[in-house]
Chains A and B, each alone.
Chain A
Amino acid sequence: MPEAPAPAVDGWFTTDAEPRLIGARCPACGTYAFPPEVFACPNPRCESEAELERTPLSPRGRIWSFVVNHYAAPPPALSPDPFEPYAVAAVELADERLVILGRVAEGVSFDGLKVGIEMAIVVEPIILGSLELVWKWKPVTA
């Protein structure tokens, strides 16, 4: 049987019909972190030693900035052959006040990308045909 696609990293996002990024939240001071693997509360003034709780993050945010890459990134990045340009967006989550990087989803027109537009998380193979799943950002269309 062929191998099934699986998350490239464990515990950073869910893969159900409405996927979410998983962050960490300090039960004492309320600050968030992504990725969720933190070893202590990142807030230097928080003295709580309580373990941070895993929590789903907002599924939508707005583009803080983005780029379109016209050259293949070197390994360990994955690139299609022949190479196709790909976009990377930094998306700001309003409630968590986090800006999170991600690839822009397959098939999205680069022309539609603008700072400030709303994006939603989707889960896709890192590149077409890859068995490693990752979160990506996709414009929310009305």
Chain B
Amino acid sequence: MEVEAGDRMTANRVAALGVGMHPWGKWGKNFVSYGVVAARAALKDAGIAWSDVQFVAGGETVRNGYPGYVAGATFAQALGWSGARVATNYAACASGAQAIDSARARILAGLCDVALVVGSDTTPKGFLAPSGGERRTDADWLRFRLVGATNPTYFGLYARRRMELYGETETDWAQVKVKNAKHGLANPNARYRKEVSADEVLASAMVSDPLRLLQICTTSDGAAAVVLTSLEFAKRHGIADPVKVAAVSTVTPTYPQTAIEMPYLSTDSAASVAPPERLFRDAIAHAALEEAGIGPEDLSLAEVYDLSTALELDWYENIGLCKEGEAARLLHDGDTTLGGRVPVNPSGGLACFGEAVPAQAIAQVCEVTWQLRGQAEGRQVANAKVGLTINQGLFGHGSSVICVR
């Protein structure tokens, strides 16, 4: 049977019926406690009992021992064994999107109607570092040992490319922090709710030159959860017009990956194979937009992974909000500020949250859901219809979700 492209796009949709979060911070508690709070909030938001959940997908954390490795089961046990099926997804910063993808796939396959996705983390102070032990065959271990290449090292490499190619300065990037700090002021789940001036950014300590402390996101504790259901279930449940997940992009790179990416010490070689039409970050966005059957001009808002302020500008170009090299102009023109053409990070982004790895991609979807329902108090994007989240996990994990109302 022939399926029209339009039908296929609609057929791929599931409902984001409920969302919930545990506020971000440095609480120092067991990650399971945050996950339970977020899960219960999402279930309550959806009006669904825990015992009605048929499938639980957990975003794995590698910092909390065995319970973190089996996060799906850990949350299921904490909420009370109910016989639900479980899965745990690990894809570094993209773990949350992969958990959403596995829940969505199960619903679309007709294997279940109601799925709960939960990600939670407790993070140590300072730089994220590899797990312990001596592992000279592990690219993540080796980049620290041989080169001292922390995560901000890579962010700094990309930032300096923007300086070199487009003439941007740290003063340009500081405006990303100023914008996101303002956006997050009224967000009850944000860790930092304080205005920041460009002068404060430029006076903060240099970390990975050209990036200063306030141009780089911190690490945080936090949890986020979303209840996904089939559209039929949502209808039966009395929700005729739920926020719908229209696309999930979990693509990997296409050879040769010619941009240096964490945790690798080298790019792929372009000596005998030409670089792909789209580099990895472009491909992540393209796959999501294509699956949703929309273009970047259709977006009402975007939640992007501002691991650094300069990286937020990269994402504008990767999504296609502007051409390469024009992101700073888009920012300075106010297009990506609340009230502008396509607000980026109305939640306040990582600048206001800090990163809680397995929860962050789910948190992005929570924010988009609230925005599309008109419930983002104090940071609402007017008339929001289509929202995109985007992110990337190290070792080649794409992460982008498009929600529509």
Question: Is B157 part of the contact surface with A, judged by Cβ < 8 Å?
Answer: yes
- For A, the interface residue count at a CB cutoff of 8 angstroms equals 47
Report the stretch among B133-141, B315-323, B332-340 that lies at the interface: B133-141
B142 / chain A contacts, CB cutoff of 8 Å = 9
A134 / chain B contacts, CB cutoff of 8 Å = 146-147
**What separation, in Å, do the CA atoms of A97 and B268 have in the docked complex?**
8
Q: Which of A34, A44, A64, A126 contacts B146, CB < 8 Å?
A: A126
A68 / chain B contacts, CB cutoff of 8 Å = 206, 208-209
Given A73-B144, A76-B130, A103-B148, decide whether A67 and B160 contact each other with a Cβ distance below 8 A: yes
Q: Which residue of A lies closest to B145 (CB)?
A: A76
Given A66-B160, A67-B156, A73-B149, decide whether A43 and B255 contact each other with a Cβ distance below 8 A: yes
* Contact indicator B158/A37 (Cβ below 8 Å): no
Given A35-B266, A74-B126, A99-B266, decide whether A88 and B164 contact each other with a Cβ distance below 8 A: no
CB proximity of B318 to chain A, nearest CB, Å:
17
Question: Is A8 part of the contact surface with B, judged by Cβ < 8 Å?
Answer: yes
CB proximity of B192 to chain A, nearest CB, Å:
20
Question: Is B341 part of the contact surface with A, judged by Cβ < 8 Å?
Answer: no
Per the 8 Å Cβ criterion, residues 151-169 of B in contact with A are 152-153, 156-158, 160-161, 164
Q: Which residue of B lies closest to A72 (CB)?
A: B148
* Contact indicator B146/A97 (Cβ below 8 Å): no
CB proximity of A74 to chain B, nearest CB, Å:
4
Question: Is B265 part of the contact surface with A, judged by Cβ < 8 Å?
Answer: yes
A30 / chain B contacts, CB cutoff of 8 Å = 271-272
Q: Which of B145, B157, B271 contacts A8, CB < 8 Å?
A: B145
* Contact indicator B269/A97 (Cβ below 8 Å): yes
Question: Is A78 part of the contact surface with B, judged by Cβ < 8 Å?
Answer: yes
A100 / chain B contacts, CB cutoff of 8 Å = 265-267
B205 / chain A contacts, CB cutoff of 8 Å = 70
* Contact indicator B130/A34 (Cβ below 8 Å): no
Question: Is A14 part of the contact surface with B, judged by Cβ < 8 Å?
Answer: no
Per the 8 Å Cβ criterion, residues 74-116 of A in contact with B are 74-79, 86, 88, 90, 95-103, 110, 115
B272 / chain A contacts, CB cutoff of 8 Å = 26, 29-31, 43
Question: Is A42 part of the contact surface with B, judged by Cβ < 8 Å?
Answer: yes
Q: Which of B146, B148, B158, B208 contacts A9, CB < 8 Å?
A: B146
* Contact indicator B210/A67 (Cβ below 8 Å): yes
CB proximity of A28 to chain B, nearest CB, Å:
10
Question: Is B258 part of the contact surface with A, judged by Cβ < 8 Å?
Answer: yes
**What separation, in Å, do the CA atoms of A26 and B130 have in the docked complex?**
31
**What separation, in Å, do the CA atoms of A117 and B395 have in the docked complex?**
29
**What separation, in Å, do the CA atoms of A32 and B268 have in the docked complex?**
8
Q: Which residue of A lies closest to B254 (CB)?
A: A44
B160 / chain A contacts, CB cutoff of 8 Å = 65-67, 115
A126 / chain B contacts, CB cutoff of 8 Å = 145-146
Q: Which residue of B lies closest to A110 (CB)?
A: B209
Question: Is B294 part of the contact surface with A, judged by Cβ < 8 Å?
Answer: no
Question: Is A33 part of the contact surface with B, judged by Cβ < 8 Å?
Answer: yes
* Contact indicator B148/A31 (Cβ below 8 Å): no
Q: Which residue of A lies closest to B133 (CB)?
A: A76
CB proximity of B171 to chain A, nearest CB, Å:
18
Question: Is B260 part of the contact surface with A, judged by Cβ < 8 Å?
Answer: yes
A103 / chain B contacts, CB cutoff of 8 Å = 146-148
Q: Which of B150, B256, B271 contacts A69, CB < 8 Å?
A: B150
B255 / chain A contacts, CB cutoff of 8 Å = 42-44
CB proximity of A78 to chain B, nearest CB, Å:
7
**What separation, in Å, do the CA atoms of A102 and B265 have in the docked complex?**
8
* Contact indicator A73/B157 (Cβ below 8 Å): no
Q: 19 A-B contacts, Cβ less than 8 Å apart?
A: A30-B272, A42-B255, A42-B256, A68-B209, A69-B148, A69-B150, A74-B127, A75-B129, A76-B134, A90-B157, A96-B269, A96-B271, A98-B268, A98-B271, A100-B265, A101-B143, A101-B147, A110-B209, A115-B164
Can you list the 5 inter-chain pairs with the closest CB atoms, starting with the nearest?
Answer: A67-B156, A97-B270, A32-B269, A74-B129, A68-B209
Which A residues are within 8 Å of any B CB, using their own CB?
8-9, 26, 29-35, 37, 42-45, 64-71, 73-79, 86, 88, 90, 95-103, 110, 115, 126, 132, 134
